[in-house]
C-alpha cells in the first residue's frame, strides 16, 4: 500500500488570516507576559517558584500536540482503522528520549539504584488488577469520547465542542473514582508491588531492555508504515516555510523527540509530566468541602506516586502546565486555519460525557492518564507504565474495531 499525497492547495493571504495571526501573536504575548510575571514574583500564592517554568513547558507541549497531532486517540485510530502506524513512532521516540534523559537524572540523584531507594518523585506505581482495569476503562473512554484527556485539552481550543462534555465527564469520573477508591485500594492496590526496572540490574541494563522493546516494536510496526509518494519538487520560499510550520503535520520523530525532551526538563526542574493532577485535586477539594470524602485517603495521602490528588486552595504548577497547553495549542492552530467550530449534537455530547466518565475513573484509579502513567511511567522505567499502556492499547483496539467512535459521534469521522 502507498500513501498518495494530495497536491498542496494555494495558501494566499486573506483578511481572516490577518485576524487569526494577530490573535495568535496576542495569545503568545499573554503567555510570555504571564510567565515573566510569575518569574518576577516567584509565583508567590500562584504555584511557587516553578510556576513560570511549567507554564512554558506546557506551552511547548501545546504546540507539539497541536502541530504534530500528538493525540493518542488520533494515533491509535490511524493504526487500528487505517492500518497506518506512522503516528505511533512519535510515541516510541518520546519514550526513548525521555527514558534516556530520566536515566541521566536518576544517576545523579541515586547513583546505586535498588528496590529500597526508588525515586519517590517519579511515577512508579503499583502493578495490580486495578491498574489494568484503569487502563481498560481509560482506553475505552478515549475511543467513545473522541480523545484522551490531553487530547481534549488541546482540541478544545480548535473548536472541538465534544471536548466540553467530555471534560465535564472527566470530573464526574474522578468523583466516582474517589468514591470507589477505598474498595479498589484495599482490594487490589494495597501491598501490590511497584517494580522499578533499574533496581534489578542498574540503569544501563534497564535502558537497554526498554530500548530493545521499543526497537522491536518499531521494526514490527514497519509493515503498517506505507511509503509516501507524490511529494514532488518543492521550492523553499516564504510560502513553503509557512506551509510547513502552520499547515503541514509536523514529522512524528521530531514531535516525539520534542515531547521527550520537555518531559525530562519538567522532571528535572519540577515534577513528571501529567495533565490530571490539578483537575483531580480540584475535584477532590470540592467533594471534601461538601463532606463527601474522608479527610484521609489511604495510599493517595501516603506513599503512592503518580498524578495524586490533594486538597488545594490555589493553582499548582500542574495547573500552569495545563494552561500552557490550552493557550499555546490555540495560538498554534490559528495561523493554520484549524480553529473552527465542529458540530456537536445532544447524542454526541452525551456519549462524549460517558466516555469522559470512563477517562476520569481510569485516570483516578490508575493515578494518571496516557501522559502521567504511560509516558512518565515508561520514562521512569517503571513496569506500571507498560502495563497501563498495554491495557489502553487493548481497549482502544477493541473500541476502534467495533467502531464505537463512529457510533458515539455519527458523521464526525468522514462517514
Mean pLDDT of the chain: 92
CA–CA separation, 364 and 308 (whole Å): 8
The whole-number average pLDDT for the span 124-146 is 97
* Cβ atoms of 291 and 182 closer than 8 Å: no
The whole-number average pLDDT for the span 88-108 is 98
Domain membership of residue 373 (yes or no) is yes
pLDDT at 412 over 90: no
What pLDDT, in 10s, does the model give residues 267-298? Answer: 999 999 999 999 999 999 999 999 999 888 89
How many domains in the chain?
1
Residue 326 pLDDT class (50, 70, 90 cuts): very high
Domain membership of residue 1 (yes or no) is no
* Cβ atoms of 71 and 151 closer than 8 Å: yes
Domain membership of residue 29 (yes or no) is yes
User: What is the model's pLDDT at position 207?
Assistant: 98
Closest C-alpha to 34, from 66, 59, 65, 61: 59
User: What is the model's pLDDT at position 415?
Assistant: 39
What pLDDT, in 10s, does the model give residues 173-190? Answer: 999 999 999 999 999 999
Residue that is written with C-alpha cell 510547513 in the block: 244
Cell numbers found for residue 54: 511549567
Lowest mean pLDDT among 1-5, 135-139, 146-150, 354-358: 1-5
Domain membership of residue 5 (yes or no) is no
User: What is the model's pLDDT at position 239?
Assistant: 87
Domain membership of residue 234 (yes or no) is no
Range of the structural domain that residue 147 is part of: 14-115+123-229+240-408
* Cβ atoms of 331 and 69 closer than 8 Å: no
- Reduce the secondary structure of the chain to three states and give it as a string: CCEECCCCCCCCCCHHHHHHHHHHHHHHHHHHHHHHHHHHHCCCCCCCCCHHHHHHHHHHHHHHHHHHCCCHHHHHHHHHHHCCCCCHHHHHHHHHHHHHHHHHHHHHHCCCCCCCCCCCCCCCCCCCHHHHHHHHHHHHHHHHHCCCHHHHHHHHHHCCCCHHHHHHHHHHHHHHHHHCHHHHHHHHHCCCCCCECHHHHCHHHHHHHHHHHHHHHHHHHHHHCCCEECCCCCCCCHHHHHHHHHHCCCCHHHHHHHHHHHHHHHHHHCCCCCCCHHHHHHHHHHHHHCCCCCCCCCCCCCCCCCCCCCCCCCCCHHHHHHHHHHHHHHHHHHHHCCCCCCCCCHHHHHHHHHHHHHHHHHHHHCCCCHHHHHHHHHHCCEHHHHHHHHHHHHHHHHHHHCCHHHHHCCCCCCC
User: What is the model's pLDDT at position 409?
Assistant: 87
What pLDDT, in 10s, does the model give residues 247-265? Answer: 999 999 999 999 999 999 9
The whole-number average pLDDT for the span 44-65 is 94
User: What is the model's pLDDT at position 163?
Assistant: 97
Domain membership of residue 413 (yes or no) is no
Domain membership of residue 28 (yes or no) is yes
CA–CA separation, 308 and 365 (whole Å): 10
For residue 41, give every residue at least 6 positions away whose Cβ sits within 8 Å of its Cβ, in sequence order, or none.
none
Domain membership of residue 4 (yes or no) is no
Closest C-alpha to 407, from 363, 352, 357, 340: 352
User: What is the model's pLDDT at position 230?
Assistant: 55
Amino acid at each position: 500500500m502507498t500513501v498518495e499525497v494530495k497536491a498542496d492547495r494555494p495558501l494566499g493571504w486573506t483578511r481572516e488570516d490577518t485576524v487569526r495571526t494577530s490573535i495568535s501573536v496576542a495569545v503568545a504575548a499573554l503567555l510570555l507576559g504571564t510567565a515573566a510575571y510569575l518569574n518576577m514574583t516567584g509565583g508567590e500564592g500562584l504555584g511557587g517558584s516553578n510556576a513560570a517554568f511549567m507554564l512554558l513547558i506546557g506551552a511547548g507541549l501545546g504546540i507539539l500536540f497541536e502541530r504534530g497531532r500528538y493525540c493518542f486517540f488520533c494515533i491509535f485510530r490511524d493504526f487500528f482503522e487505517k492500518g497506518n502506524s506512522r503516528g505511533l513512532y512519535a510515541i516510541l521516540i518520546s519514550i526513548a528520549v525521555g527514558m534516556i534523559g530520566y536515566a541521566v537524572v536518576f544517576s545523579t540523584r541515586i547513583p546505586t539504584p535498588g528496590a529500597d531507594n526508588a525515586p519517590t518523585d517519579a511515577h512508579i506505581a503499583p502493578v495490580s488488577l486495578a491498574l489494568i482495569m484503569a487502563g481498560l476503562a481509560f482506553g475505552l473512554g478515549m475511543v467513545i469520547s473522541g480523545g484522551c484527556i490531553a487530547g481534549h485539552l488541546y482540541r478544545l481550543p480548535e473548536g472541538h465542542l465534544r471536548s466540553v462534555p467530555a471534560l465535564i465527564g472527566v470530573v464526574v469520573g474522578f468523583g466516582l473514582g474517589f468514591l470507589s477508591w477505598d474498595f479498589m485500594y484495599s482490594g487490589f492496590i494495597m501491598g501490590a508491588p511497584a517494580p522499578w526496572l533499574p533496581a534489578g540490574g542498574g540503569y544501563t541494563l534497564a535502558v537497554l531492555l526498554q530500548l530493545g522493546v521499543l526497537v522491536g516494536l518499531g521494526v514490527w510496526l514497519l509493515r503498517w508504515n506505507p511509503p509516501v509518494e507524490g511529494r514532488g519538487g518543492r521550492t523553499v520560499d516564504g510560502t513553503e516555510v509557512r506551509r510547513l510550520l502552520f499547515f503541514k503535520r509536523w514529522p512524528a520523530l521530531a514531535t516525539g523527540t520534542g515531547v521527550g525532551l520537555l518531559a525530562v526538563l519538567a522532571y528535572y526542574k519540577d515534577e513528571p509530566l501529567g495533565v490530571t493532577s490539578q483537575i483531580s485535586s480540584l475535584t477532590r477539594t470540592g467533594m471534601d468541602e461538601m463532606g463527601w470524602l474522608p479527610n484521609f485517603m489511604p495510599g493517595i495521602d501516603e506513599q503512592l506516586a503518580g498524578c495524586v490528588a490533594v486538597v488545594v486552595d490555589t493553582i499548582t504548577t500542574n495547573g500552569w502546565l495545563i494552561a500552557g497547553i490550552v493557550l499555546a495549542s490555540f495560538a498554534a492552530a490559528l495561523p493554520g486555519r484549524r480553529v473552527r467550530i465542529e458540530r456537536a449534537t445532544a447524542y454526541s455530547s452525551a456519549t462524549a460525557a460517558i466516555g469522559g466518565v470512563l477517562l476520569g475513573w481510569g485516570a483516578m484509579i490508575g493515578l494518571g492518564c496516557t501522559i502521567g502513567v504511560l509516558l512518565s511511567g515508561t520514562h521512569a522505567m517503571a513496569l506500571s507504565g507498560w502495563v497501563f499502556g498495554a491495557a489502553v492499547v487493548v481497549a482502544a483496539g477493541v473500541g476502534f474495531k467495533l467502531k464505537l467512535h463512529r457510533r458515539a459521534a455519527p458523521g464526525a469521522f468522514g462517514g
